[in-house]
Amino acid sequence: MESSSFYSFLIPNLKDVIGWQDIKIIENNEPMVDILKYNNPKIVFSKYYFNMGLFGAIDHCLIREAVASKLNQIAQRLPNGYKLFIFDCFRPIQCHRSLYESLKVRVAKDQGLKDDSDIIKYLSTFATPGFTNPLYPSPHFTGGAVDLTIVDNFGNALNMGTEFDDLTEKAYTEFYEIKLQKTKKLDYLENSILMNRRFLYNLMCEENFSNYKYEWWHYDFGNQFWAKINETTAQYSIIYFD
């Protein structure tokens, strides 16, 4: 696909992953690798949660070998002047639990919610406490999920309309596609955001990643989210990290 096509191909009506826990996993025992082993100058790992000081976060980007290879290919395909910027990939269980608690605090504050059940309900679209059952592990526990964006050579992120880990509808991948369909027109900034989301989405789809429709930054391969969307069997179960 020519680089200009990444902007012209619309983000389609994305499938939901409801029922993903029922997808069968046939673990292929593919090893985990540090994506930085490729020494690709077009891949940057931000150590986002490690730098936040979240308990259990790690300072290297572990991911399944096939996923790392695909990301390396995507980075190579980027036009000159752009890089992949990875926020998170494999996430240790304790890090996820720390993150979940911090997100609950943010939801309570931002949404004015006090009841724990209301906070958990609101947050459920974006995060769960973390499933550790090997029959249905949370995607970041499998080595098959990655959170990322695109930056320029100066480290400036393309405007995707929200920050990473935003907990509003604007984070939904299709938000600006749907707004364009409804209003028939976007302003200059909104159109720029839409083009950037298309850029990322179409790049990732070229290597058969699937997107979690409620988070523009979250992509999967080989895990149950991916398998649900592609109507196939999952290849990755939980990875335990010491």
- CA-based nearest residue to 148, from 139, 156, 157, 136: 157
pLDDT value at residue 3:
57
Distance separating the N- and C-terminal Cα atoms of the chain: 41
Examine the pLDDT at 5 and tell me if it is beyond 80: no
Q: Using CB atoms within 10 A of its CB, is residue 192 exposed (0-12), middle (13-18) or buried (19+)?
A: middle
Residue 7: pLDDT band by 50, 70, 90 thresholds?
A: confident
Angle at 65 between CA 64 and CA 66, to 5 degrees: 95
CB–CB of 83/74 below 8 Å? no
pLDDT value at residue 212:
98
Q: How far apart are CA 237 and CA 113, in angstroms?
A: 34
Kind plus residue range of the DSSP H or E element containing 28: none
Q: How far apart are CA 85 and CA 44, in angstroms?
A: 5
Look up residue 77 and give its two tokens.
């395909």
Kind plus residue range of the DSSP H or E element containing 2: none
Examine the pLDDT at 1 and tell me if it is beyond 90: no
Residue 242: pLDDT band by 50, 70, 90 thresholds?
A: low
CATH top class, domain 5-230: alpha beta
DSSP at 31:
P
Average pLDDT, the chain: 95
Examine the pLDDT at 6 and tell me if it is beyond 80: no
Q: Using CB atoms within 10 A of its CB, is residue 23 exposed (0-12), middle (13-18) or buried (19+)?
A: buried
Q: Give the E-state strand segments of 13-172 in sequence order.
A: 32-34, 43-45, 62-64, 82-88, 145-152
- The predicted-structure confidence for 108-120, as pLDDT tens digits, reads as follows 999 999 999 999 9
Examine the pLDDT at 74 and tell me if it is beyond 90: yes
CB–CB of 96/141 below 8 Å? yes
pLDDT value at residue 2:
55
- The predicted-structure confidence for 13-45, as pLDDT tens digits, reads as follows 999 999 999 999 999 999 999 999 889 999 999
pLDDT value at residue 8:
75
Examine the pLDDT at 91 and tell me if it is beyond 80: yes
pLDDT value at residue 224:
98
pLDDT value at residue 241:
77
Q: Any idea which residue has 């911090």 for tokens?
A: 102
Calculate what percentage of the chain has a pLDDT beyond 90: 94
Provide the residue ranges of all domains of the chain, joining segments of one domain with +.
5-230
Torsion angle, alpha carbons of 21, 46, 170, 103, to 10: 60
Q: How far apart are CA 196 and CA 50, in angstroms?
A: 27
pLDDT value at residue 4:
57
- The predicted-structure confidence for 133-191, as pLDDT tens digits, reads as follows 999 999 999 999 999 999 999 999 999 999 999 999 999 999 999 999 999 999 999 99
Secondary structure (3-state) at 97: helix
* Average pLDDT of the residues in 56-71: 97
